[in-house]
Structure 1
Amino acid sequence: MNKQTQNALTPLSPSLHANVKAVRSRFGGSSDLVVRLFRSDAAPDRELAVVYVDGLVNASTINESIMEPLMGMALPEHAPRKGEKMIDALRGCVVSVGSVREVRTLDEALQGMADGLCLILADGSAAALTADANGGDQRAVTNPQTQTVIRGPQYGFVENIRTNISLVRRIIRSPNLHVQMHKIGRQTNSNVAVLYLHGVVDEGILKEVYRRLADIDIDGVLESGYIEEFIQDETFTLFPTLLNTERPDTVAAALLEGRVAVLVDGTPIALMAPTNFFTFFQSPEDFYQRYDIASFVRIIRYAAFIVSMLLPALYIAVTTYHQEMLPTTLLISLAAQREGIPFPGLIEALLMELTFEVLREAGLRMPRAIGPAISIVGALVLGQSAVQAGIVSAGMVIVVSFTAISNFVMPESNMAATSRILRFAFMLMAGMLGFFGIFISVLFMLIHMTSLRSFGVPYMSPMAPGPKKQGLWRDVFVRLPWWAVVLRPLDMKLRNPKRRPNGRKPAAQRHSDNP
């Protein structure tokens, strides 16, 4: 319940019709509000009411587990049929749904109905019951849309927070997995769940997550991006300081590493904190296949990230200021390509990069049936036509195309977006100062990255500053075999920093052929 409703709680009235009138008034006479008044043979002098919001509840649950038991109820002889105690009798003897809670204020009753609960009122009682009948049309669990893998679980989060929590619990089947619910948003009252592994998590980081969530005061939360901007350490930075994912196995792995996960009702994207720079280059598939293959692919990702940021800038610097660094044959070939090009290298690269960004955005926004075809055909036609028209050189088209392909290698889209924006800054510095401009830009970027924190954890940990615990750096650039991974990866004050007692491989039993 948010801060405003806590300050002005309206108690329920003993009059059933007064309560029904108040509910209808607060909902503004909405057409999806269903009010069913009836009497039961067990208490013929008492009128009952079932109130719920159509579309948020499961109609069969209400009919079979609430309405039928109430209309045909047979209370024990000693059960009270009047006054406040009748509500207790209904909860204990009649209503058969799993979760039933007593409420005594109108605000609690309204909030329960907005959450998909069914409200049960009885005349003469200033208390009511909220029964769990949550349902309605929801998207089924399907494959992840943004983080696909070849080997590993093939299901992702949905928009229902209860379903998402259950998906995580199906992986971590331990009572140490704790879930704490929060209400955020004065109008939306969105459910926000904080998940952590008790006995592993850093208690200081957990308290900081709670504090930052409690400080959020906004009228509505529609997606986890709202929460991310409120709780992240640094606002004015291009580098993401929180992980996001739609994969339950990724959240489970983060919890096992001592991180804290935040799930928001209405979105399939979960947040995880704290994190560091190197985590954005790890894919869930790295930990499902052989360590040598995963290490090779991870190194390719680091190389692709550097290429996606610096390749156009390096091309501009070399062709504009440092031609002596190129072999003579390659220099002659590039000079022949640029013959007749009306623009300098910087303008040429900016035109191509901006054109590709427009094509990328158009491919995302257009209907799925024609989006990929338009983006691919548009890139081919525009690139070939631009070269034939003498607007850009063929070498620049190759550089921009390979840069774009390298950008798609990033497993995390927010880090890929960071490299796309930084690419333009490096291009401008290269066009003005050559290699010196690139060197200065990289230096300032590294200084900025080392100053970042994610809930107190250094962003460049464990490389800068050096890890307090030896062995944390071993799973940064390459993926070690599971039997060699002893410590959890982040340098935090974890209650249990070890995954396993030692880093030795279990000895294989050798069987002799001799009897």
Structure 2
Amino acid sequence: MLKSWTRRQKFKKNTTISLLTDIQNKQLSTDLFTNEEILKELFSNCSDFVTRPVAINNEPKITLFYIEGLTDTKTLDKVFFSPLMIQGLQTDSNKEVTLGKIVEQKLFPSTSITTVSEFSILVNSILKGELGILVEGEAKALIVDMKGSEQRSVEEPSTEVVIRGPKDGFTETLRVNTSLLRKRIRSTRLKLEALTIGELSQTDVVIAYIEGIVSESLLQEVRLRLKRIEIDGILESEYIEEFIEDAPYSPFPQIENTERPDIVAAQLLEGRVAIFVDNTPFVLIAPMTFWSGFQSAEDYYERFVYTSFIRFIRFFMFNVAIYLPSIYVALSTYHPKLIPTSLLISIAAARENVPFPTIIEALMMELVFEGLREAGIRLPKAVGSAVSIVGALVIGQAAVQAGIVSAPAVIVVAATGIASFCIPRYNLGTALRLIRFPMLLLAGMFGLYGIVIGFIVMNIHLVNLRSFGVPYFTPVAPQIPADLMDVLIREPRWANQYGPLFTFFRKKSRLPSGQKPKPKKGGNET
């Protein structure tokens, strides 16, 4: 008996796999019962798959299929079942008017409906939350757009907070995200190309660009890299990022990600390409340069004088985040004569009872700081900040009093951590955290010579890095003088006539010249 049951289960499994294999080319039958059985076999052991037959004249003529939780059942009951129960379905004496046409015209007159004749399209539509309708005697199915799954409302992005600027952010719903972009660029030149990636997840992906601004070579490269992805499922946009970046082993990000619709709109206006992925609020933007990692959305919502000063602060903090611990280790270990005498005496006095070399001390403190930062992120918000602050104060103070580390080392590590938080792009900040450790090891082994070696190697890597064929250090290397003004400082809006030359290939300027404010002297004219 057990052997017979095992044989039946094996036959059932093989039948299902065979159906899944052949479904791409399988056409719907005119027999309603046959179509139902195939769908039930495909969705076997799927408790959320719902089948609702509808009888006409006491005979099953129509069957509805949908996924519970993905389809708006309240609207379905209101639009379909309530009128059907009250009025019934009046068939037409005209033989040319089929039952499917009657359902389409009388029960769903104002709803988006498509007709399909293949099982593969019907199954994919049901899995996306749409309603599938099969009618007896017709070798086609009606697909009704009734998606109604729960979704998060539009909120301010938690990772890119601004004081001045829009407060809306992307959500996990693809069409909500594209609509937020459409609100900002109301032009038919904004193109949204759709494709599906993932054998099992069937994740919807959209390529966004502005026709006439984007480079055709860049657009073709993005399409090519996306279409060659073969994977079972895409759960977040980072899955795609790893498949399409130029240098996967580089610590530096080559594709920008953001939750802000205004950033995506601004980047598209500069000739870049955005990649929207369903089920994630993070949108990918390509190409990315090293300098765009220092730019925040708020840079273009504040006056350019203040923004330019803030950019210099960020560049300075970037160097502090990478080199300050290394310089401290190198000077205190190999080059104490370069330290002012009074400062050297203070450092020597603080390190008098510390049992570890400076390099070990710095590495220990850096690892503890990274651990505290990770704990603050992973813990619930109510206690995360408290743990990170209290942990840093208690551990730092206790370690200094116990003579395990010196006070200067705590100050250096704390200053380095603060500097790394000044970088607007989180993925660029993580690159700094990784680079800091090899720089520390080089400083501990070779002193300032090791720092110089690390600096040269890092810059050679950055100069050779590419993002979709665009040099990562553009416009500094290769140098494009016209674009340097929006790198080191934020150029006034009335002076920024052209977009970046490495992506902006139009000869036409973005705005006419001569718009610099020129107030008249001597008061207002009447």
Q: CA deviation at 1:497?
A: 6.2
Q: Contact 2:50–2:66 at 8 Å: present in 1 too?
A: yes
Q: CA deviation at 1:6?
A: 9.5
- Look up the match of 1:11: 27
Q: Contact 1:200–1:496 at 8 Å: present in 2 too?
A: no
- What amino acid is the match of 2:62? L
| Distance in 2 (alpha carbons) for counterparts of 1:496 and 1:301 | 33
Q: Cα deviations across residues 278-324 of structure 1 (Å, max 9, x unaligned)?
A: 00000001001111111111111111111001000000011111111
Partner-residue secondary structure (3-state), 2:460: helix
- What amino acid is the match of 1:61? T
Q: Cα deviations across residues 221-247 of structure 1 (Å, max 9, x unaligned)?
A: 000000000011111101000000011
Partner-residue secondary structure (3-state), 1:130: strand
- What amino acid is the match of 2:65? V
Q: CA deviation at 1:486?
A: 1.2
Are 1:465 and 2:478 an aligned pair? yes
**1:394–1:512: structure 2 CA closer, same or farther, 3 Å change rule?**
closer
How does 1:73-222 map onto structure 2 within 5 Å?
A: 73-74=89-90, 78=94, 80-82=96-98, 86-88=99-101, 90-92=103-105, 94-222=107-235
| Distance in 2 (alpha carbons) for counterparts of 1:213 and 1:91 | 37
Partner-residue secondary structure (3-state), 2:218: helix
| Distance in 2 (alpha carbons) for counterparts of 1:61 and 1:31 | 21
- Look up the match of 1:486: 497
Q: Contact 1:49–1:122 at 8 Å: present in 2 too?
A: yes
- Look up the match of 1:52: 66
| Distance in 2 (alpha carbons) for counterparts of 1:475 and 1:245 | 20
| Distance in 2 (alpha carbons) for counterparts of 1:513 and 1:451 | 56
| Distance in 2 (alpha carbons) for counterparts of 1:486 and 1:363 | 44
**TM-score (normalised: structure 1):** 0.94
- What amino acid is the match of 1:368? K
- What amino acid is the match of 1:291? F
**1:29–1:460: structure 2 CA closer, same or farther, 3 Å change rule?**
same
**1:477–1:131: structure 2 CA closer, same or farther, 3 Å change rule?**
same
**Percent identity of equivalent pairs:** 44
Q: Contact 1:97–1:131 at 8 Å: present in 2 too?
A: no
Partner-residue secondary structure (3-state), 1:476: helix
Structure 1: tracts of 5 or more residues without a match: none
- What amino acid is the match of 2:488? F
Give the number of the structure whose residues are more often helix, by fraction: 2
Structure 2: tracts of 5 or more residues without a match: 1-19
Q: Contact 2:464–2:471 at 8 Å: present in 1 too?
A: yes
Partner-residue secondary structure (3-state), 2:488: coil
| Distance in 1 (alpha carbons) for counterparts of 2:111 and 2:298 | 38
Q: CA deviation at 1:514?
A: 7.2
Q: CA deviation at 1:372?
A: 1.0
Count of matched residue pairs: 505
| Distance in 1 (alpha carbons) for counterparts of 2:302 and 2:442 | 41
**TM-score (normalised: structure 2):** 0.92
Which has the higher mean CA deviation after the structures are superposed, 137-146 or 272-281?
137-146
How does 1:26-425 map onto structure 2 within 5 Å?
A: 26-40=42-56, 47-68=61-82, 72-74=88-90, 78=94, 80-82=96-98, 86-88=99-101, 90-92=103-105, 94-425=107-438
Q: Contact 1:46–1:122 at 8 Å: present in 2 too?
A: no
Q: CA deviation at 1:507?
A: 4.2
**1:21–1:514: structure 2 CA closer, same or farther, 3 Å change rule?**
closer
C-alpha RMSD of the superposition = 2.0
Partner-residue secondary structure (3-state), 1:187: coil
Partner-residue secondary structure (3-state), 2:205: strand
Are 1:475 and 2:489 an aligned pair? no
Partner-residue secondary structure (3-state), 1:460: coil
**1:114–1:67: structure 2 CA closer, same or farther, 3 Å change rule?**
same
